[in-house]
Structure 1
Amino acid sequence: MQSPSLKREATAGQSKATITSLDRVVVIGVLLINAHTWGLNSSYAVFLAYYLRSGTIEGASPLGFAFVGGLSISISMLVSPLATWFIGRFGTATTLRIGVVLEAVSFIGASFSSHIWHLLLSQGLCFGLGLGFCFTSTVGVVPQWFTKRRSFANSVATCGSGFGGLTYSLATNAMISNLGLAWAFRILAILAFVVNGACSLIVRDRNKAVGAVHIPFHKDLFKRFEFWLFLGWGFFSLLSYVIVVFSITDYAQSVGFTASQGSLAAAIFNLPK
């Protein structure tokens, strides 16, 4: 008959093996989610260049198109307190799936857009909400599964955004050229929904195990000078990033490159990310 101590050791060994097998799955899942959120967001550079030259959107100015891209990024950041509350109230999986649905709906809506306000609601507001819910749900998951090589695991998961930006900058231009704008959006919607939806089934958090506390808005942080410095760094670094990532394709075309070469420039820019 097996002693209680041996049973506990066997149970602990099985638990450790389970965690070891799941941590890699979680990293891959978050990598794919980053590729199909931040990576897809980077493809707006290709859409922007197309909008500026095609005239398919009525009543739009270059500033209006730029505002669509800026709106998606800003909404994704502003919605984080709400997404954090959802995580604490309904769990990581449910919050992530809300983001998956919103992102897919945003691309489907954009495929039928004919006026600038259609894009503002779909590719701007709705996509920003989806991006924010997906990102907030997964940003803290990977570190929960590691005590060693945590930084390396985070870096692998984060590189999904660069991989997605590289892939979809090239793919989006090819789809627009061969299938048209509407079907490019619809294909991206299907890809995002299928991949992110599948990942929402395999990504697991350890909130209960690590005692995670989700505070939607911590106002006391605003009393700390270091926090304001951190906010300033985030503001200016993201500002410069957005300007380059969304304008590089159009700039390349404006100086004489083709649409394919412009999308390649955007892809190369996303690669180191």
Structure 2
Amino acid sequence: MFATATTKMTSKTLSPTGTDAGAPTYATDNEGNISDQSTATGIPSPSRASSEKSSPLAAPPTTTITNAAPHAEKQPTGPPTGGPPAGAPGGAWNASPPPPNGGLAAWLQVASAFFIFFNTWGLLNTFGIFQTYYESPSSIFQPPGSVSSSNISWIGSIQSFMVLLGGLISGPLYDRGYLKHLIVVGAFGVVFGHMMLSLTKEYYQALLAQGFVVGLGAGMMFTPGVAVLQSYFSTKIGLATGLAAAGSSFGGVVYPIVFYRLIDRIGYGWSVRVIGFIALGTLAVPVVFLKQRVKPGKVRAFVDVTAFTDGPYMLFTLGCFVGFIGLYTMLFYLSFFGLDTGATNPAMAFYIVPILNAASMFGRTLPNWLSDKAGPFNILIPGALVCGALTLAMMGVKGLGAIVVVAILFGFFSGVFIALPTVCYIVLTKDKSRLGSRIGMGYAFLGLATLIGGPGGGAILQQTGHGGHNWTGMWTFGGIMLLVSGVLFIVLRGWKFGVKLTTKA
């Protein structure tokens, strides 16, 4: 009886917080030894559960009390590195500290991601000036007009497609811890591709160098470059991603101006090589500083099949897909529109792209900063609708002033399509260990939209219309796609977060 009484008095369950039923529990025996009685999630240990069922002499249930023994305060109090952020499941998050949301290491990741955007989307945003040059009398494709607008747009479309398709490979490899390898290989592809592009004389050579080599190299870097930020930021993820995405706008300003200012002085070949050298210098930053802070505890498949049954994820991807189709009609052809219709002189036509991208720099930072407070979907929806309205408004644009105004407004509002999808994928992905795979899958699907937007718009443009080009048909095509995208985002917001306008979504 004395032994039994002692057991009842000393056997007790210790919780790290004293009251949290979901935390690890410990019990002390008669000699004061502490033993783990559950897993980190509060589920009873299988070995203990089975022993209690099989043994008829199993000890009676322990009595839970709130006053732990003094010596127990020095014992482990659950996972020493903290729990996951709100809404995140177990996995790697349970084995690592929460995101620091600041500090030198975290902001170095933002700087590294900035230069990845600079040399991925920044190069994609530059293609409008290549489209204009390739269609000019001084083009490397001789005789002038020997390559159609639609065929030229395939170069930029395939480049964009390879950037987004590359995420299907780089996302899972990032999950497996190969971040450095991806950045080094991707940087080599971007630089080498431009060196080969500088030597091209034929259409197929430019398609291979600029479309496939540069595009795939950028694709190896893009998804890991944005996925790494979510392990350093949680409450400031929108701001961090927006600052990084501003690199694409900065690249879209620098590269076109470099190309235009140098091409008459040193020729096409060396102008393209200078772009390659700029890429080499700026990509040294992520090669040196980009670091994977958290590795998923479980290796994921290259394709996350659970995504196909995730309704909000699929609807969001479809909305972005339709939006990207409309987006590329404006990005590829706005500069050429001014030159073709006589609204701008050749010099000013080349500056339309930098003007658009300069405005886009603010459109990829301010909306993302607001998304931390209002929610990414509340910012993405008006951005898509305004872009659609501006594209349709191009049917009435006649002079240089109107083109510049549209370029500024479209550049600002279109920034949400580049900066916010990653934030939205983070919000829609509950299991953060699947994030790399899901971002890669999503962007690979969006890559198909670039194959429709550029060449599709070019095919419509080649139809007989005013001035030999059907600009009205092309702007209608792009504008409707963007408006449909905005409607799909509205449906998703109502489905996922409700229809109340004041809800953060």
- Give the TM bin, normalised by the shorter chain: 0.7 to 0.9
Amino acid at match of 2:268: L
For residues 217-232 of structure 1, what are the structure 2 equivalents within 5 Å? 217-232=303-318
SS of residue in 2 equivalent to 1:75:
helix
Report the equivalent of 1:180: 267
In the TM superposition, residue 83 of structure 1 has moved relative to its aligned partner by 1.5
SS for the counterpart of 2:103 is: helix
Root mean square deviation of aligned Cα: 2.3
Alignment of 1:58-69 (within 5 A): 58=142, 60-69=147-156
Partners of 2:185 and 2:211 in 1: CA distance: 17
Residue from 12, 26, 29 that aligns with 2:109: 26
1:112 is displaced (CA, Å) by 0.9
Q: What is the match of residue 140 of structure 1?
A: 227
For the pair shown, the structure with the greater C-alpha radius of gyration is: 2
Equivalent residue, structure 2, for 1:125: 212
Q: 1:118 offset after TM fit, Å?
A: 0.3
User: After superposition, where does 1:1-273 map in structure 2 within 5 Å?
Assistant: 20-53=103-136, 54-58=138-142, 60-89=147-176, 91-208=178-295, 211=297, 215-256=301-342, 257-271=344-358, 272=360, 273=415
Amino acid at match of 2:293: R
Q: Given residue 167 of structure 1, which amino acid in structure 2 is its aligned partner?
A: V
Q: Could you say if the C-alpha distance between residues 88 and 149 of structure 1 is closer, same or farther in structure 2, counting changes exceeding 3 Å?
A: closer
TM-score by length of 1: 0.86
Which range is displaced more, 84-93 or 121-130?
84-93
Cα distance change on mapping 1:242 and 1:212 into 2, 3 Å: farther
SS for the counterpart of 1:151 is helix
Structure 1 CA distance for aligned equivalents of residues 334 and 178 of structure 2: 38
Q: What is the distance in 2 between the residues matched to 1:55 and 1:147?
A: 48
Shift of 1:24: 1.3
CA distance in 2, matches of 1:90, 1:146: 19
Give the deviation of 1:72 after TM superposition.
0.7
Query: CA-to-partner distance for each residue in 1:37-81, whole Å, 9 max, x for gaps?
Result: 211221111111111112422563322211111111112222212
Q: Tell me the alpha carbon deviations over residues 91-143 of structure 1, each in whole angstroms, 9 at most, x when there is no partner.
A: 11110111100111111111111111101111101111011111012011122
User: Would the alpha carbon gap of residues 258 and 119 (structure 1) be closer, same or farther in structure 2, given more than 3 Å must change?
Assistant: same
Unaligned 5+ runs, structure 2: 1-73, 75-80, 82-96, 361-414, 416-505
Letter in 1 for 2:140: T
Please tell me the residue identity of whatever aligns with 2:332.
F
Aligned residues of 2:226 and 2:241 also touching (Cα < 8 A): no
Letter in 2 for 1:26: Q
Runs of 4+ in 1 over 6 A off after TM superposition: none
- Separation in structure 2 between the aligned mates of residue 177 and residue 123 of structure 1, nearest angstrom: 21
Q: How many residues align?
A: 259
Alpha-carbon spacing, 1:228–1:106, altered in 2? closer, same or farther (3 Å)? same
Q: What is the CA distance between 1:86 and its match in structure 2?
A: 3.0
Supply the distance in 2 between the matched residues of 1:55 and 1:270 (Cα, whole angstroms). 24
Distance in 2, matches of 1:133 and 1:34, equals 12
Displacement of 1:163 in angstroms is: 1.6
Structure 1: distance between partners of 2:239 and 2:297: 23
The match for 1:9 is: none
Secondary structure, aligned partner of 1:180: helix
* TM-score, scaled to structure 2: 0.48
Write the distance in 2 (CA, Å) between the matches of 1:51 and 1:240.
Answer: 22
Contact 2:193 2:214 in 1 (8 A): yes
Distance 1:73 1:249, change over 3 A: same
| 2:230/2:237 contact within 8 Å kept | yes
- Shift in Å at residue 229 of structure 1? 1.7
Match of 2:5? none
Tell me, which stretches of 5 or more residues in structure 1 are unaligned? 6-11
In 1, the alpha carbon distance for the partners of 2:261 and 2:322 equals 32
Identity of paired residues, percent? 21
Give the drift of 1:33. Answer: 1.8
Greater Cα offset, 214-223 or 181-190: 214-223
Q: State the 1:148 CA deviation.
A: 3.3
Q: Deviations over 1:3-49 (max 9, x none)?
A: xx9xxxxxx9xx999x7221111111111221122112211111111
Cα distance, 1:215–1:176 mapped onto 2, change above 3 Å: farther
Matched residue, 2:403? none
SS in 2 for 1:141: helix
Which of 1 and 2 has higher RCO (CA within 8 Å, sep 6+)?
A: 1
Distance 2:259 2:324 in 1: 23
**CA shift at 1:255, angstroms?**
2.4
Residue pair 2:119, 2:218 contacting (<8 A) in 1 also: no
Q: Are 2:120 and 2:219, in contact at CA under 8 Å, matched by a contact in 1? A: no
Q: Is the 8 A contact 2:132 2:350 kept in 1?
A: no
